[in-house]
Chain A
Amino acid sequence: MTGPEIRAQLEQHHEDAFGWALSCCAWERALAEDVLQTSYLKVLAGRAAFGGRSSFKSWLFGVIRRTAAEERRRRAFRTIVSLEALKAPLPSARCDPEEELAASEETARLVAALRALPRRQREVLHLVFYDDLSIREAAETLGIPLGTARTHYQRGKARLGALLAMERDRR
């Protein structure tokens, strides 16, 4: 796949890739944009090569997921070693889904509930409900066994439903 073809594929999947980056970064917009740019650079500079074993979108999502994991580790390390981290609040505590996405009230509630889910459950639900992938495709994208993906899907769906119902009852 040549450079212009890769660029065209990236542009075609850009919006879905941004949504996936948001999900991988617990809906922190600034972090998601950084992760997406780093992922694009990896792809275009040849540091991540598409082998054609899956769809380009699945492969790109894998690159984004790994890049987000690297960024999380880097942040965690910085939090540990930096004394400034003792003074400043954690980034996740600073973020407000309503401010970040300028979303509607319903969407903001969904994002808040998603952030309360474990990462794997959130990722599987995103791939299935947001990107309309099957659980098998979600498992391939995440590089986990199908049974594991199915378990995350069931548990995540039940927990998300409970969280949204709780929110609904509070209103």
Chain B
Amino acid sequence: MSDGDEKELRARYGALRREVAASAPPFATPEVHVVRRRVASWSWAAALAAAAAAGALFLGRGRGPVSGYDLALGSVMWTGPTDFLLALPGDLPPSGGPSSAGEARVRDPAGPERPPHDTLGRTEKGES
């Protein structure tokens, strides 16, 4: 392309520029405020919801039934029904254990104590 052609091209572009400028729509940005307000209200609502959720989590922490249960467990001792089997000689029988059908016996270290009656309920003297 020669210099003359380039000048002609510039002249054509100049004419195009003038016609575009003449037909350009007027400068207007009417919807900007609406969009900005909508974005702002949305962000405010999201921030408020997040703050409320964080506050609820913080205040609700440590108030659940678990902590109260822990306190009750500290003041109560639970004994199982078979805890008396774990009792060693000389120990007192556990207070919370089930009571035996016969009388309580403490084993004598010197030797086994004879039962007061056999399995049929008879005594040594033959009494029934």
Q: Which residues of A contact B (CB under 8 A)?
A: 7, 10-11, 14-15, 18-19, 22, 33, 36-37, 40-41, 44-45, 101-104, 106-107, 110-111, 129-130, 157-158, 160-161, 164
Contacts of A161 in B (CB 8 A): 1, 5, 9
Q: Is the CB–CB distance between B12 and A110 below 8 Å?
A: yes
- B4 CB to closest chain A CB (Å) equals 11
**8 A–B contacts, CB within 8 A, in A order:** A10-B29, A14-B24, A22-B20, A44-B36, A102-B19, A104-B15, A111-B16, A164-B12
Contact B15 A11 (CB under 8 A): no
B35: interface (CB < 8 Å): yes
Knowing that A101-B23, A102-B23 are A-B contacts, what are 7 other residue pairs whose CB atoms are under 8 Å apart, sorted by A's residue number?
A: A7-B29, A14-B27, A18-B25, A19-B17, A36-B25, A111-B16, A129-B13
Number of B residues near A (Cβ < 8 Å) is 23
Closest-CB distance, A99 to chain B (whole angstroms): 12
B9: A residues at CB distance < 8 A: 129, 157, 160-161, 164
Bound-state Cα–Cα, A19 to B39, Å: 30
Cβ-defined contact, B35 with A110, below 8 A: no
Q: For residue A100, which residue of chain B has the nearest CB?
A: B23
**Which single residue of chain A is at the shortest CB-CB distance from B1?**
A161
A147 to B49, CA, bound (A): 53
The docked-state distance in angstroms from the alpha carbon of A161 to that of B2 is: 10
